[in-house]
Amino acid sequence: MIKIPSTFPSPPAWTPDHPIVRVSQVYKSFGETQVLKGVSMSVMKGEAVCIVGPSGSGKSTLLRTINALVPIDAGSVVVEGQEVCDPELDKLQLRRKVGMVFQQYNLFPHMTALQNVMIAPIKVLGQDKAEVEARARALLRKVRLEDKADRHPGELSGGQQQRVAIARSLAMTPDIMLFDEVTAALDPETVKEVLVTIRELAEEGMTCLLVTHEMGFAREVADHVYFTDHGVIVEHAPPAQFFGEAKDPRTRAFLSQVL
Amino acid sequence: MKKLSALALLFAFCACLPGEAFAADGGRPSILGALWKWAPLLLSGFAFNLLISVLAMALGTVLGAVLGLGLVAPSSGLRRTSHAATQFFRNAPWLVLLFFCMYLMPFEFVVGGAVVPFPGWVKAVIGFALPVMANTAEIVRGAVQSIPPAQWEAAESLSFTRRQTLWMVILPQCVKRMLPSWMNLYSLVTMATSLASVVGVSEMLTLTADALAAEGGRTDLMAPFYGFVLFCFFVYCYPIGVWTRRLEARYAVK
Ligand SMILES: Nc1ncnc2c1ncn2[C@@H]1O[C@H](COP(=O)(O)OP(=O)(O)OP(=O)(O)O)[C@@H](O)[C@H]1O
Ligand SMILES: [Mg+2]
């Protein structure tokens, strides 16, 4: 475990020329299984980073360490200059800056799409209801679902649900968005509409970390691609280099399977 | 379907009436005459059964909701204590709990010099509320655990506290899932209230025995009178069962 300076609550102000997310030598085990074995990565503000790798290699776990959903055993995760594994860290404060969308069962099924988008800003941030509603409707328009505002998740397609989930995370005005295989459970036809939404976000300068199996998307949108296998980062590179001239045999074996 | 079953039961009830049921014979009133005479009292007894069941259910549900939240609490001490209490009351025979409450609790309290009576039927309400509590707690636990973990994670990653997640996201989804089992439990409690006759609460079964005694213990009245009791319980509980199954079917699809 890294030593956290006692002056921690007032960290050196983070500036955009430093990585907005820096993961260093992170270890994590669930019981006997070692899931992360010394993972490091860094992401600059406005970058879109894709994490690819075989099933069970620890991609979701890595993503979850960034918003403290998974506590780590050793190493350090720094988000905007804040040490995430500082026991005194206000996790709720951190999660306001880091939005996350999951593979499935994201939306609250007992609320309409609009209510899903509105609840966190109202209940967590204590913002004014009318102002939040205006913003929520604008976000639903942004993901092209303004006409579905009053539908419940059960009445929406998987792709529409994922777009509402993205709008819901954006309603908290995060600085970083995490996406964990958000298209993995979708029909091929609806995958595209979700990817278009994410791509627009990345192009607007949102910092995005995506775990994905969509290699075409990674190639076109990512600034950087990381390949994980058995809890380590085997290789990382800009997409052209990653897909064109991967060095490690494990990366090449993986790519030959998925491409 | 419902009407048909009720008719069938009524038919079975009439079939057990002997031939002279409809005719007065000498000084003795006919069976139906006797039933007619006593029906208001018996029905008032049934109303008492329902009162006991509703109060026991209300008390048991409130306690059970608290206990159920204990079963899913993050603190392992709280979880273990709740688990022990739940298992204890779930595996106790209802009649034994009833006796236990009857004879453990005083028949009156002294509050600041004034004597407050503590009647048997209130003890019966408490006696029935205990198993309701334990069963409700299990229903709450089952419902909370049936919600996909991603719902917790989604709420957590939106910066909800654990308490906010529970009250705004998890429990509202649980209500629907709990309703069928909870209604089923209510039917069981209603039927179980007749056990209170064993400890002398003047509910319907007790009053029926009293009425039969007042009629001089006529054996020809026994089956019709107890048949009437069965009929009342059936007419009340059967629709609840139908409704429960309908809710189950509706929520199973989602
Ligand atoms: N909460 C947990 N408790 C126990 N084991 C876990 C937990 N979460 C993950 N694991 C285990 O850790 C390993 C890595 O899981 P992780 O979900 O990070 O993999 P992944 O790369 O995201 O895989 P996939 O592509 O299938 O989603 C798996 O073997 C998994 O069984
Ligand atoms: Mg995963």
Model confidence pLDDT, tens digit, residues A139-193: 999 999 999 999 999 999 999 999 999 999 999 999 999 999 998 888 888 888 8
For the segment(s) A21-258, the CATH number from 3.30.1490.20, 3.30.70.360, 1.10.3720.10, 3.40.50.300 is 3.40.50.300
Structure tokens at B211: 């009425």
Mean pLDDT, chain B, whole residue set: 87
Output the pLDDT for position A17. Answer: 76
Output the pLDDT for position B112. Answer: 81
Output the pLDDT for position B21. Answer: 54
Q: How confident is the model at residue B10 (pLDDT cuts 50, 70, 90)?
A: low
Q: What is the ipTM of this complex?
A: 0.87
Output the pLDDT for position A88. Answer: 83
Which of A92, A103, A106 is the closest to B159 by Cβ? A92
In contact, A46 and A205? CB cutoff 8 Å? yes
Q: Which residues of B touch A95 (CB under 8 A)?
A: 156-159
Q: Which amino acid is at A228?
A: T
Model pTM score: 0.82
> Would the pLDDT of B178 be above 70?
yes
Tell me the percentage of chain A whose pLDDT exceeds 90. Answer: 66
Output the pLDDT for position A8. Answer: 47
Output the pLDDT for position B174. Answer: 93
Sign of CA dihedral A212, A214, A217, A219: positive
- Whole-number Å distance, alpha carbon A83 to ligand 1 midpoint, is 24
Output the pLDDT for position B13. Answer: 57
Mean pLDDT of B54-65: 96
Q: In B109-119, which positions are buried (b, 16+ CB within 10 angstroms) versus exposed (e)?
A: eeeeeeeeeee
* Domain segments of chain A as ranges: 21-258
Q: Could you tell me which residues are beta bridge partners of residue A180?
A: A211
CA A34 from chain centre, in angstroms, equals 22
- Whole-number Å distance, alpha carbon B203 to ligand 1 midpoint, is 58
Sheet containing A176-180: give its strands across.
A98-101, A176-180, A207-211, A48-52, A224-229, A232-237
Output the pLDDT for position B215. Answer: 86
> Would the pLDDT of B120 be above 70?
yes
Mean pLDDT of B114-140: 92
Mean pLDDT of A238-251: 89
| Residue among B222, B68, B201, B211 nearest B132 (CA) | B68
Q: How confident is the model at residue B22 (pLDDT cuts 50, 70, 90)?
A: low
Output the pLDDT for position A7. Answer: 46
Sheet containing A33-43: give its strands across.
A33-43, A21-30, A74-79, A82-83
> Would the pLDDT of B19 be above 60?
no
The answer, for B58 touching chain A at a CB cutoff of 8 Å, is no
Contact yes or no for A99 and B157 at CB 8 A:
yes
Which of A107, A108, A172 is the closest to B159 by Cβ? A172
Residue in chain B nearest A172 by alpha carbon: B158
> Would the pLDDT of B9 be above 90?
no
Largest Cα span, chain A: 56
As a CATH number, domain B34-106+114-250 is 1.10.3720.10
